[in-house]
Structure 1
Amino acid sequence: MNRLFTFLLSILIFSSSFAQDQNYQGKFEPIDNLIPQPNVYRSASGAPGKAYWQQHADYKIKAKLDEKNNTISGDETITYYNNSPDDLSYLWIQLEQNVNKKENEDFGYAFGNVRDSMNTRHMQFLTRAIDFPAGYSIKYIKDSNGNAIKSLVNNTMMKVLLNEPLKSGESLIFSIGWSYHITDRSMYLLSREGYEYFPEDNNTVYLIAHWFPRLAVYNDTEGWQNKQFQKLGEFALEFGDYDVEITVPADHIVASTGDLKNETDVLSKVQQQRIAKARKSIDKPLMIVTPEEAKANEKEKTNKTKTWKYRAENVRDFAFASSRKFIWDAQAVPLETHTVMAMSFYPKEGLPVWSESSTLAVKNALEVFSEAVFEYPYPVAISVNTSNIGMEFPMISFNGGRPVNGKMSDNAKAGMIGTIVHEVGHNWFPMIVSSDERQWMWMDEGLNTFISQRTMEERYPNYPHTESKSIVPFMSGDKSIMRPIMTTSDNDLLSQFGANYYLKPTVGLQMLRNSIVGKELFDQAFKEYANRWKYKHPNPADLFRTLEDATAVDLDWFYRGWFFTTDNVDMELTNVKWFTVTNEENIENKNTITKANIKAENAGENTKDFGGGPETITMTTTPDQAYGQFLSRMNEPKIRKQLYGKNIYEITVKNIGGLIMPLSIEWQYTDGTSEIDVLPAEIWRLNEYEITKTFIKTKQVEKVVLDPNFEFADTDTKNNSFPKVEEASDFDKFKNKSKN
């Protein structure tokens, strides 16, 4: 016992001194100090706790689109359910349209200062030379008895001061009347909604989103999520049921969240017959409004109106598009328990690509996401064509990508299809698995991109898709301006926005699935997370804990490095030693010390290749004292016999980039064959900066390569090989090309 204690003590002392000497950062330490502690609302397993609660808000809205003045007005009645344990004396309402007021912050400045030869649109972004009457006009706020309710507006948030507190477990009915001028999307940077004007035929496509005053989230982790809308960070919203009436010009076609409830009032008999056929068409889309009909519709404008009525249940938002320019096609997509209608709405400018590709892309997304996450629950999934945007809402998305004179390059088409798949995928993240986009954008963008890229890989294998090497140019960038994934989107640089919230989380999840946890186990765990938090509000800690809980894999080291730091992967193969064992035993009697000659590379010196051959060292019989109190002995001659004729290779790897990862080692043999060994990340536990590992190989090695399949986003592959690579590898050529 004393000997064991002394041994453990020596390790402890060594580890302590090593930590001090090497500036130890605890890469394998738990992340408990970085995430909220579990409680009755959110369990240590990552599941909602027994006391979990969330608010609920139902809306009844009557809205009117005024095409002549480009305005929209509405009256809405909200029923708000206080399921929290708290009494509320006020509510916070989101007023996103106020973000476009001239005095508010805009991100035009982020794209540079005034300079010579500046285009006029860029100057408009910077100066807002043309003013616009943006923002809400609130006509009234009143309770169910018609009594006025006082409010205070702070930029994009409105504080509703209740006449009496809303107690825990009770509900409140109140109404708001409002209107605003719809923005011209071509005039505003990062415009997620508004109208697009087509001068050639003097018509407009309206994308109506963030259009009605909506309840902010009140939850157990933040209280009110009332961060101001600054365009980059998106939304945190409560679930509810919607009854919406939309009055538009009678010749408009409307695409909307929800189930159309008055089809016979707004569609012609021919259109009704066509959509009835489309509900049975599982092989291809059918036209509901043909290109010829849409073109004819553009030429005549009416002063009459129609009201489209929709019902949507258990959604966190509502959006719609309206235009007389719309061509409309639809197709049935049978899923396991119900059939979804995949639909596309697009102007003639989208032909022929949109009629060929949009609804098919919606169908592909529905099928792959339903298999990978959970079945799509809603009756419709819609893709609407517009310019310069990809934006998602429940059951409907606005997607850019448009041919020029009817033609589109392969890259542009791939981008268009990828956008549609991605935006449809947002129905799962965050429209159902409802994370806080304003706080943690990566939780919807990254998780959605992870599955949307699987969709592209499976259904569009000839198109490019995200993989580990995609993130290398970003991760080898300037660390002084780089921020971790766990940063709110409004505080990150625009130049890093896509990489930090889309690509890096996606690559991280791909690594976990493909190389760290394993596909079957990871897929089950990912589904567990999604199903646990379906129609609820998860935080990063809930995802992190669930993936560990459902895999029995300690992933804190991965979360800490990949999500909380800006470290990169750069493993250097610093040394390879080569040994062989020859059969040169001479045993004269039982007391003779048995020796075997082992040859190693030039007395351990690191040469440029294996040309020096193996070096001789001595392997001796183990002395009795080395066994301690064990009375049994290993069969040492048998062990040596197992080594005869084998090649022993000792490799040393340094962690240059700071981010620990598993080690994938390829052995290329002199006979032209190869094999790969994979060491888990835990090999770095005792020393996070350098490791040494010994391997026995039957064949003679010609070359050793780390991360041969670019699984772990190593930023410098020139130091991954022995013998050293003199010329840039194919991967480095890819990396340099991506930077340029």
Structure 2
Amino acid sequence: MKKGILILFLLIFSISPAQKGPYYQQFAKYKMEIDVDAAQFTYQGKQTLTYTNNSPDELKTVYFHLYWNAFKAGSMMDQRVQSQGKNGDGRLQQNGISRLASIPENEEGAQNIHWIRQNGKNLKFEIQETIMKVELAEPIKPNSSTTFTMEWDAVIPKQIRRAGRNNREGIDMSMSQWYPKIAEYDYDGWATFDYIGREFHAPFADFEVNINIDKDYIIGAGGILENPSEVKGYDPQAKIKTNNQNKATWKWTAKNILDFAWAADKDYTVESFTVLDGPKIYYVYQKSGKTAFWELSKPYVQKFFQLMNATFGRYAYPTYSFVQGGDGGMEYGMTTLILGEAKSLEGLVGLMFHEAGHMWFQQMIATNESTKPWLDEGFTSYAENMIMHQLFPPETPQPHPFTSSLNRYINFTKTGKESPAVWLADHHDDGGAYGIASYYKGELFLVQLGYIVGEENLSAILKEFFQQWKMKHPTDRDFLHIAQKHTGMDLKWFHHYWINTTKTIDYAVKNVEYGSNSTTVTLSNKGSVPMPIDFSILTSDKKVINYHIPMNMTRVWKKKDIYGDFETLKYWPWTQQEYTFNIPYTKDQIAALGIDFSQRLADVNPEDNFVENK
């Protein structure tokens, strides 16, 4: 091969598209004028969207989400619910029959696009279920912006999932994912998954939203209300300003969030309080005996934001709103829509913690929920349970905050229904399997990681992840990079087993032989996921002696853990089924011995992990 050709060959392959380039993220600015016909549950919308292409790619097509098009008989969401039957999301069905199939025609969701223009030029568009494909009049070049204008009208759907009219607690309008929202574009291309009922993804954006609605309504939203003195509910001295239709205009702004959600009802009460060194919190709800726990929840919410700031990183926005609405709890930019009629204070607070926790692990660290739901649901569940354990200590002492999640995961593995956490959010065939994969295995990913690297290292990794990736769109690869860099360990094997497979951990104490000067212990790996092992002895005088058996694939061993000092033994090759070692204690010196006294290890058969010397 000639020298010149060789150089050209090397240059081509050194810039192969398989090699990920520099990080970038897109940005959008929305200006909306919304006119609501509350009696008919419809609205007219006008929107100016300035879209900035920070990618190295020239964009000739853009895509928008039209989520409300899913709320009708025969939609893809309806088809999916019908095909899943009783194995699907219970909120979308009744006795195994899709609730979407029986939506009256006048209550079907609709987002009817009248026209869309780019820099004043009319554009061709095609509606594909909940996705609108738009062919551009002129390409958006790298590092440049363009302006879209559009008009549309919408029918607020019957409340079935997250958005809609007249939810089961009597809230008139739950307005989430309610406007034509431009899709995210990144290294993996356009994020244009059809809406089937699960998760969302979007670029960061600024919002200016003016909502024109009957003057008797009160609105709760994620953002800053710019004219509280002109509308009802926020300012006791307000003089409501109306137009000739007897409507008031609510002026909301928000900066650098993923979406803007709101809800409206005539019977809302607005309350607020400020977290010390934190945001101003708004409660927007129907105040009654059914929602009495809201008042009692306030000190817990204050502590929650303070603990999240200290544990993971500071909340970035000036406000946060808990708004009664929706069909359970769902996070949006600076707000959650949440059911208000709780059965207990702990139940309400737990739901509030989970949804507000998504501000860290979905909004500020804006992973793609549709493709990797375990990253946001799992990490949020980890934070929720950690703080709930502190503020609502269990009546029966537990070894750690994740005991219940661990037990639920272990029990589910025995059903044979488990599916890998790597699956796309809407593509799990069983609703229970989706929950285990996304919430529980995502949470236990961190618990197992803490077991492998040590809890202090895990805490530092989570803080570093937030610092590096707040207000960005990281992936699990980015998290793993930080974990490996911080610890020096190779952790790719763990990520692969835990996220990409349904293989399980199952270790056992196979044999104990007591000698005159020492004891010989043989452990067995009966499972299909290799792990390093923490092994402990409870001596007859009630002391705990700890040993750590590294697993060779990590290459670097755990140095310390909060569960006590330990002696490090020779590593256990992951291909080796059994491991034998000696400890300098005799039978009369040992009260009990076993694997993982901390009870963090997700061993699916923990019964054979311990031996009590009776």
What TM-score does the superposition give when structure 2 sets the normalisation length?
0.85
Q: Counterparts of 1:103-122 in structure 2 under 5 Å?
A: 103-105=74-76, 106=78, 107-109=80-82, 110-112=84-86
Residue number among 33, 40, 44 corresponding to 1:73 in the alignment? 44
Residue 460 (structure 1) shift: 2.5
Q: Does 1:715 align with 2:585?
A: no
Q: Counterparts of 1:380-529 in structure 2 under 5 Å?
A: 380-386=319-325, 388-403=327-342, 408=343, 412-462=344-394, 466-468=401-403, 470-476=405-411, 477-478=413-414, 480-492=416-428, 493-513=430-450, 515-529=451-465
Contact kept? 1:255, 1:321, Cα under 8 Å: yes
Contact kept? 2:214, 2:248, Cα under 8 Å: yes
Q: Does 1:656 align with 2:526?
A: yes
- Residue by residue over 1:225-277, the C-alpha shift from the partner in whole angstroms, topping out at 9 and shown as x without a partner, is 11211112x1120112111101121111111121111122225796259xxxx
Superposition RMSD on alpha carbons, in Å? 2.8
**Identity within the alignment, %:** 27
Partner of 1:608: none
Give the direction of change, closer, same or farther, for the CA distance of 1:562–1:121 in structure 2 (3 Å limit).
closer
Contact kept? 1:184, 1:196, Cα under 8 Å: yes
Is the partner of 2:493 in helix, strand or coil?
helix
Residue 576 (structure 1) shift: 1.1
Q: For residue 314 of structure 2, what is the amino acid of its counterpart?
A: E
Give the direction of change, closer, same or farther, for the CA distance of 1:148–1:361 in structure 2 (3 Å limit).
farther
Partner of 1:138: 113
- Residue by residue over 1:388-424, the C-alpha shift from the partner in whole angstroms, topping out at 9 and shown as x without a partner, is 4110001110122515xxxx3xxx4322211101111
Residue 575 (structure 1) shift: 0.9
Residue 519 (structure 1) shift: 2.8
Contact kept? 1:193, 1:207, Cα under 8 Å: yes
Is the partner of 2:379 in helix, strand or coil?
helix
Give the direction of change, closer, same or farther, for the CA distance of 1:269–1:385 in structure 2 (3 Å limit).
closer
Residue number among 297, 305, 318 corresponding to 2:247 in the alignment? 305
Unmatched tracts of structure 2, length 5 or more: 1-15, 88-92, 239-243, 553-570
Contact kept? 2:417, 2:433, Cα under 8 Å: no
Q: For residue 416 of structure 1, what is the amino acid of its counterpart?
A: L
Q: Does 1:148 align with 2:37?
A: no
What TM-score does the superposition give when structure 1 sets the normalisation length?
0.71
Q: Counterparts of 1:32-71 in structure 2 under 5 Å?
A: 39=19, 41=21, 51-71=22-42
Contact kept? 2:234, 2:270, Cα under 8 Å: no
Q: Does 1:229 align with 2:229?
A: no
What CA distance in whole angstroms lies between the structure 2 residues aligned with 1:269 and 1:460?
32
Q: Does 1:160 align with 2:134?
A: yes
Residue number among 251, 268, 273 corresponding to 1:326 in the alignment? 268
Give the direction of change, closer, same or farther, for the CA distance of 1:133–1:461 in structure 2 (3 Å limit).
same
Give the direction of change, closer, same or farther, for the CA distance of 1:72–1:358 in structure 2 (3 Å limit).
farther
Query: Which deviates more from structure 2 when the two are superposed, residues 428-437 or residues 448-457?
Result: 448-457
Residue 355 (structure 1) shift: 3.4
What CA distance in whole angstroms lies between the structure 2 residues aligned with 1:269 and 1:537?
34
Give the direction of change, closer, same or farther, for the CA distance of 1:64–1:462 in structure 2 (3 Å limit).
farther
Contact kept? 1:468, 1:507, Cα under 8 Å: no
What CA distance in whole angstroms lies between the structure 2 residues aligned with 1:211 and 1:649?
67
Residue 701 (structure 1) shift: 2.3
Contact kept? 2:591, 2:613, Cα under 8 Å: no
- Residue by residue over 1:473-524, the C-alpha shift from the partner in whole angstroms, topping out at 9 and shown as x without a partner, is 43452475322211111121211122111111212212323x3322332212
Partner of 2:218: 253
Q: For residue 465 of structure 2, what is the amino acid of its counterpart?
A: Y
Give the direction of change, closer, same or farther, for the CA distance of 1:669–1:257 in structure 2 (3 Å limit).
closer
Partner of 1:28: none
Unmatched tracts of structure 1, length 5 or more: 1-35, 42-50, 114-118, 274-301, 581-646, 726-740
Partner of 1:342: 281
Contact kept? 2:267, 2:286, Cα under 8 Å: yes
Give the direction of change, closer, same or farther, for the CA distance of 1:361–1:268 in structure 2 (3 Å limit).
closer
Query: Which deviates more from structure 2 when the two are superposed, residues 648-657 or residues 385-394?
Result: 385-394
Contact kept? 1:472, 1:714, Cα under 8 Å: no
What CA distance in whole angstroms lies between the structure 2 residues aligned with 1:269 and 1:538?
37
Residue 529 (structure 1) shift: 1.3
What CA distance in whole angstroms lies between the structure 2 residues aligned with 1:160 and 1:314?
24
Residue 469 (structure 1) shift: 5.3
Residue 560 (structure 1) shift: 2.4
Residue 361 (structure 1) shift: 4.0
Q: Does 1:265 align with 2:224?
A: no
Contact kept? 2:419, 2:434, Cα under 8 Å: no
Q: For residue 177 of structure 1, what is the amino acid of its counterpart?
A: E
Contact kept? 1:258, 1:312, Cα under 8 Å: yes
Q: For residue 175 of structure 2, what is the amino acid of its counterpart?
A: I
What CA distance in whole angstroms lies between the structure 2 residues aligned with 1:53 and 1:124?
41
What CA distance in whole angstroms lies between the structure 2 residues aligned with 1:438 and 1:269?
35
Is the partner of 1:710 in helix, strand or coil?
coil
Give the direction of change, closer, same or farther, for the CA distance of 1:652–1:401 in structure 2 (3 Å limit).
farther
Contact kept? 1:707, 1:714, Cα under 8 Å: no
Residue 304 (structure 1) shift: 2.0
Partner of 1:572: 508
Q: For residue 208 of structure 1, what is the amino acid of its counterpart?
A: M
Residue 356 (structure 1) shift: 2.1
Partner of 1:29: none
Partner of 1:559: 495
Contact kept? 1:350, 1:385, Cα under 8 Å: no
Residue number among 194, 207, 211 corresponding to 1:242 in the alignment? 207
Partner of 1:689: 577
Residue 303 (structure 1) shift: 6.8
Is the partner of 1:231 in helix, strand or coil?
coil
Is the partner of 2:359 in helix, strand or coil?
coil
Q: Does 1:169 align with 2:111?
A: no
Is the partner of 2:172 in helix, strand or coil?
strand
Q: For residue 707 of structure 1, what is the amino acid of its counterpart?
A: D
Is the partner of 1:228 in helix, strand or coil?
coil
Partner of 2:303: 364
- Residue by residue over 1:149-188, the C-alpha shift from the partner in whole angstroms, topping out at 9 and shown as x without a partner, is 1101111111111112122222111111112211222xx3
Is the partner of 1:254 in helix, strand or coil?
strand
What CA distance in whole angstroms lies between the structure 1 residues aligned with 2:172 and 2:327?
13
What CA distance in whole angstroms lies between the structure 1 residues aligned with 2:521 and 2:233?
75
Contact kept? 1:435, 1:537, Cα under 8 Å: yes
What CA distance in whole angstroms lies between the structure 2 residues aligned with 1:341 and 1:653?
54
What CA distance in whole angstroms lies between the structure 2 residues aligned with 1:420 and 1:111?
30
Total equivalences in the alignment: 561
What CA distance in whole angstroms lies between the structure 2 residues aligned with 1:84 and 1:126?
39
What CA distance in whole angstroms lies between the structure 2 residues aligned with 1:722 and 1:121?
47
What CA distance in whole angstroms lies between the structure 2 residues aligned with 1:498 and 1:52?
31
Is the partner of 2:229 in helix, strand or coil?
helix
Contact kept? 1:264, 1:272, Cα under 8 Å: yes
Is the partner of 1:438 in helix, strand or coil?
coil
Residue 129 (structure 1) shift: 6.5
What CA distance in whole angstroms lies between the structure 2 residues aligned with 1:538 and 1:124?
35
Is the partner of 2:200 in helix, strand or coil?
coil
Give the direction of change, closer, same or farther, for the CA distance of 1:142–1:437 in structure 2 (3 Å limit).
same
Partner of 2:562: none
